[in-house]
């Protein structure tokens, strides 16, 4: 069953704008991860946030986690056309035995 | 390490034929996952292994699908007989499971059953 649910399903913005994607999940987690998938390629890990962290930064990426609401957000600042891709959240649930549960993803389109 | 290696990258086969997809995980990783991705269903977990032992195969759609991991460096996903609705991109991923580690994906096999 799907653990993470991303919102929105699709997002179209202009280059230079910020892009925000949200993820909701259902169970207690050890960590939450964000992945990126370029068209026709495999998923690539972007950033991991632990359950005891509230915010994490990596370059132009900012991730927040609210465990009380079971939600996370991924912010990409100053977007570029090369950021065009699908973005997935994945949860490492407590007791999951190593299995990551992926959401359905947000398809981001950045127009030059 | 070259990452997770999948073969073939593309496969076109006729309905009823047997299809075998292959995966070489990253050396030292103790978890291996097989996923299927379609526009309609998104990314679905089919089966995963821990130390070559299948842990959860509840995502395998039918008995036509089978997966093996004979050793730590090789896994196969077999579909016999294949059907047009099996057309999808199949991904293999591996992971060394310790606290707070990520999964590494292969480039996928695009399967088309005609």
Q: Are B88 and B111 in contact (CB under 8 A)?
A: yes
- Asked which of A7-11, A70-74, A76-80 is least confident by mean pLDDT, the reply is A7-11
Given this model, what pLDDT does residue B100 score? 82
Residues 6+ apart with CB under 8 A from A18: A75, A76, A77, A78, A79
- Phi and psi at A82, nearest 5°, equal -70, -10
Question: Are residues B43 and A44, on separate chains, in Cβ contact within 8 Å?
Answer: no
Determine the residue of chain A that is closest to B31 in CA distance.
A98
Q: Are A3 and A99 in contact (CB under 8 A)?
A: no
Q: Are A21 and A108 in contact (CB under 8 A)?
A: yes
For residue B105, give both structure tokens: 């994906």
pLDDT above 60 (res A3) = no
Q: Are A99 and A91 in contact (CB under 8 A)?
A: no
Query: How distant is the Cα of B110 from the closest Cα of chain A, in angstroms?
Result: 9
Q: Are B60 and B67 in contact (CB under 8 A)?
A: yes
Question: Are residues B43 and A48, on separate chains, in Cβ contact within 8 Å?
Answer: no
For residue A11, give both structure tokens: 């997002």
Given this model, what pLDDT does residue A7 score? 82
- Phi and psi at A77, nearest 5°, equal -90, 155
Residue-wise pLDDT for A39-59, tens only, equals 989 999 999 999 999 999 999
Instruction: Report the alpha-carbon distance of residue A107 to residue A88 in Å, rounded.
Output: 9
Determine the residue of chain B that is closest to A95 in CA distance.
B99
| B91 vs A contacts (CB less than 8 Å) | 42-43
Q: Is A75 helix (H, G, I), strand (E, B) or coil?
A: strand
| A53 vs B contacts (CB less than 8 Å) | none
Q: What is the mean pLDDT of residues B94-99?
A: 84
Comparing B39 with A19, the larger pLDDT belongs to: A19
């Amino acid at each position: 069953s799907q653990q993470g649910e991303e919102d929105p399903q699709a997002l179209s913005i202009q280059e230079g704008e910020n892009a925000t994607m949200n993820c909701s999940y259902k169970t207690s987690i050890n960590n939450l991860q964000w992945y990126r998938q370029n068209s026709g390629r495999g998923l690539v890990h972007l950033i991991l946030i632990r359950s005891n962290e509230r915010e994490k930064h990596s370059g132009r990426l900012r991730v927040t986690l609210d465990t009380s609401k079971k939600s996370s957000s991924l912010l990409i600042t100053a977007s570029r056309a090369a950021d065009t891709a699908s973005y997935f959240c994945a949860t490492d649930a407590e007791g999951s035995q190593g299995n990551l549960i992926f959401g359905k993803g947000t398809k981001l389109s950045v127009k030059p | 390490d070259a990452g997770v290696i999948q073969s073939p990258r593309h496969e076109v086969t006729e309905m009823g034929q047997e299809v075998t997809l292959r995966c070489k995980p990253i050396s030292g990783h103790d978890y291996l996952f097989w996923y299927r991705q379609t526009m309609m269903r998104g990314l679905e977990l089919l089966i995963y292994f821990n130390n070559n032992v299948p842990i959860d195969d509840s995502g395998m759609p039918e008995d036509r699908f089978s997966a093996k991991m004979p050793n730590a460096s090789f896994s196969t996903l077999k579909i016999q007989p294949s059907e047009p609705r099996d057309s999808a991109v199949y991904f293999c991923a591996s992971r060394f499971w310790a606290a707070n580690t990520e999964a590494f994906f292969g480039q996928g096999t695009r399967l088309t059953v005609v």
